[in-house]
Chains A and B, each alone.
Chain A
Amino acid sequence: MPREGILVSNPYERITDKQVKQIHRASLEILVDPGLICFSKKAAEIFHGHGAEVTAASSGDSPSWHIKIPEKMVMEALNSAPKTVKLGARNPDNALIMKGDEPRVYFISGSETNIWLDVDFPTYVKKSDSSIEIQVPEFHPRRATVADLCQSAHVCEHMETLDGYIRTVNIQDEDITEDNKDVNKFFASLNNTTKHFMSGLTKLEQLDNVVRMAELIAGGKEALKENPIISFITCLVKSPLQFVEDTTDTFIEVCQRGLPVAVSSSPQAGTTAPIKEAGIMAQINAEVLAGITLGQLTNKGTPMLYGSVPVRARMDTLGDSYGSVETSQYNIDCVQMARFYKIPNYSTSGVCDTKIPGQQASIERLFSDIVVTLSGPQYLHCAYGLLDCNAVFCLLQAVLDDAHFQMLKFFLKPAQINQQELAETMKQIREVVATPQKLYIRYIRQVMRSGEISAPYPFEGDGESDNVFALAYQRMSELLAKPVEHIAPETTAKIFQEIPGLLPRLNVYKEGK
């Protein structure tokens, strides 16, 4: 049985059907005029080989091609892209089944940040009364390591609301190089969670090692196809409308292996996309359609996610503003576009502008988590632990986010209102009204124990104290103390034997560990 996620029974729609079609038409026009600049020779050849108009472009030092993708080619690709995508998992019960036309939401971590945020709780003494002490959380940023990646996968494994794991940090240990980064990030993650694992690839040459590792874990080539425990994210189109050489080449290779892939585009309204909603939507949709078309031309039937990471620019720095309200609007529009094409959507919420956990972080992330979830994306990423516009990951924040998603999941349960329910409750009403106390309290009891009553906020302090961070930290420590089901010893031995570049310290069965 795959994970249930949460089915949004009446998904929120921000744009009308007419507007969806208008965006679709505008995107198709963009794909022809102005078309895309392509820096990948392989991609240019694939498009050319299938009849797209491809001409050598003159600008810049790198060789590039100008590609016009005709409507027919796009529509055929949309037709051949699977409408149901399975993302497997080491534990088959953690598999995710996503149907493009079904608003069933899975909550996922991500994305890859450079900075890991540690937290501690130093004690402060009141100047005017030294008998009064309080503990205040302090956050300390540092470069992330492979041990951090293991820790975050470990905690994510135990967070009930989290359905899948996207690597949270870019590992930057001294012994990590461009050549061994991929194998180590895949192994560190897969060895610490039995949920689905998605990641980008740093170096194309490592793709076969990573896939072989997944085959060893899944039980062979065919077993991996049946249960794709890994998938890939590729930002092959750099906004505006440019196929980047390295990620596009990686994307093509992933598609050739038939593994699931998120076709992601991340335009920034105001800088790399028009500031107005109509403009960014027409452009991002064109960029994603271009990616899906290339993928289907490469290997028809490759499972793909319509990946959308649109964001508005901050007016003060022109950096990303994930906390802006418009960012959520664009994401919801993208959810609707993906549903229009019946292709599962990889959407974004929960990222905030602020650098540390706190009130602003909670407000920004909870706002986008609620509204984007209500629109019914299938694969909602970025939702756990990310701060500072995707630059920082904080495990404590991830645990706080888990509590947000518990509330959201409860909220989205279908309403239990039917004739039988009403008849039983009417009986209760008549009984209670006839009693002197007129209280329904006795009827709470079985309902309370059946899970029909929402749990209180798990980090509620006593009395007037606000101990949210301390209690969340305690929860985080509890989750870290829980055991993790690592990859079996014999499989681990095979992986270390066959896959070059793995750090010996990641082998949990190594003597002395």
Chain B
Amino acid sequence: MTEDIISLIRENVIQGRVTQDDEGLDEGMVGQPGVTELTEKALAMGIDIRDIINKGLTEGMNLVGQKFELKEFYIPDMLASAEAVGAAMDLLKPHLDQSGIKPKGKVLLATVKGDLHDIGKNIVSILLRGAGYTVKDLGHDMEPQSIVNAVRVENPQFLGLSALLTSTMVNMRDTIQALEESGLRDKVKVIIGGAPVSEGYAKSIGADGYGSDGFQALAVIESLTST
């Protein structure tokens, strides 16, 4: 029975189904429990959280990654699966401590002052949540000082800053300067992303990393996590 539930969680991660209302990829899936319902059921059955995460969610996500490499799956598929894993992780978080599982870390995300574009940031949010990070999304058009205040309150390990416009990317520098002035710069790793910025720009404004797309952003954060 335990194996059946875990197997269903894994399959629904591959299908990218958050809830029973999602259609997934195969025909006739609507109405069948999605990752959310299955995770709730697994918790109610007292299934070991480490099995849910490792054998269900992580293994499902690994299979999705393999399909992506083989070009059977595309980015929308990866995101749907990550979204399903993120939803499951929200349900599991309150139980992590008692299972002895260490959370992966907290990431604060924001689109900087003057910029309303947040597609990239939102994609990064889905991927990070799917990878097991706790994500706090501050939204868009964020003043440097508001971001500093959030860092002080939330105490994240990472801050992701996004901008789409050449006119607003300069506010990334202002935000990093505001962090320095408030004495918080050493407490958080800053990763930037967005169409007009680059690795070189990240270095020039004193950021710790640069992600050219959502997957690279996740890879950069993973590499900084392990250092």
Contacts and interface: CB of A to CB of B under 8 A. Distances in A.
Interface of A: 436-439, 441-442, 444-446, 448-449
Contact of B122 (A438, A442, A446): A438
B203 to A, nearest CB: 21
A437 B82 CA distance: 13
A443 to B, nearest CB: 9
Contacts of B165: none
Given A436-B137, A448-B74, A449-B25, A442 B125 contact: no
Given A439-B126, A448-B76, 9 more contacts: A436-B122, A437-B122, A437-B125, A441-B79, A442-B79, A442-B80, A445-B74, A445-B80, A448-B74
Contact of A445 (B16, B122, B126): B16
Contacts of A446: 23, 25
Interface string B126-141: 1000000000010000
Given A436-B137, A448-B76, A442 B25 contact: no
Contact of A441 (B25, B76, B137): B76
Interface in B183-218: none
Given A436-B137, A448-B74, A448-B76, A442 B119 contact: no
Nearest to A445: B76
Contact of B76 (A436, A437, A444): A444
Contacts of B25: 445-446, 449
B5 interface: no
A67 B107 CA distance: 88
Contacts, number: 36
B43 interface: no
B22 interface: yes
B123 interface: yes
Closest 4 CB pairs of A and B: A437-B122, A444-B76, A442-B80, A441-B76
A313 to B, nearest CB: 48
A438 B123 CA distance: 10
Contacts of B11: none
Interface in B93-144: 119, 122-123, 125-126, 137
A441 B80 contact: yes
A429 to B, nearest CB: 15
A271 B25 CA distance: 62
Contact of B83 (A442, A444, A449): A442
A437 B118 CA distance: 9
B59 interface: no
Contacts of B23: 446
Given A437-B122, A437-B126, A449-B25, A442 B137 contact: no
Nearest to B25: A445
Nearest to B74: A448
Contacts of B137: 436
B16 A442 contact: yes
13 contacts: A437-B125, A438-B122, A439-B79, A439-B119, A439-B123, A441-B76, A441-B123, A442-B16, A442-B76, A444-B76, A445-B74, A445-B80, A446-B25
Contact of B22 (A437, A442, A444): A442
Contacts of A442: 16, 22, 76, 79-80, 83
Nearest to B27: A446
Nearest to B126: A437
A236 to B, nearest CB: 53
A442 B125 CA distance: 15
A490 B104 CA distance: 72
A439 B122 contact: yes
A445 B22 CA distance: 11
A437 B121 CA distance: 9
A438 B20 CA distance: 20
Nearest to A440: B76
A384 B76 CA distance: 35
Most-contacted residue by chain A among B77, B123, B137 (CB, 10 A):
B77
Contacts of A444: 76
B5 to A, nearest CB: 23
A437 B119 CA distance: 8
Contacts of A441: 75-76, 79-80, 123
Interface string B49-87: 000000000000000000000000011110110010000
B60 to A, nearest CB: 16
A439 B125 CA distance: 11
Contacts of B125: 436-437
Nearest to B125: A437
A382 B180 CA distance: 67
Nearest to A431: B21
B15 to A, nearest CB: 10
A436 B123 CA distance: 11
A445 B23 CA distance: 10
Contacts of A436: 122, 125, 137
A441 to B, nearest CB: 5
Most-contacted residue by chain B among A438, A442, A444, A448 (CB, 10 A):
A442
Contacts of A437: 122-123, 125-126
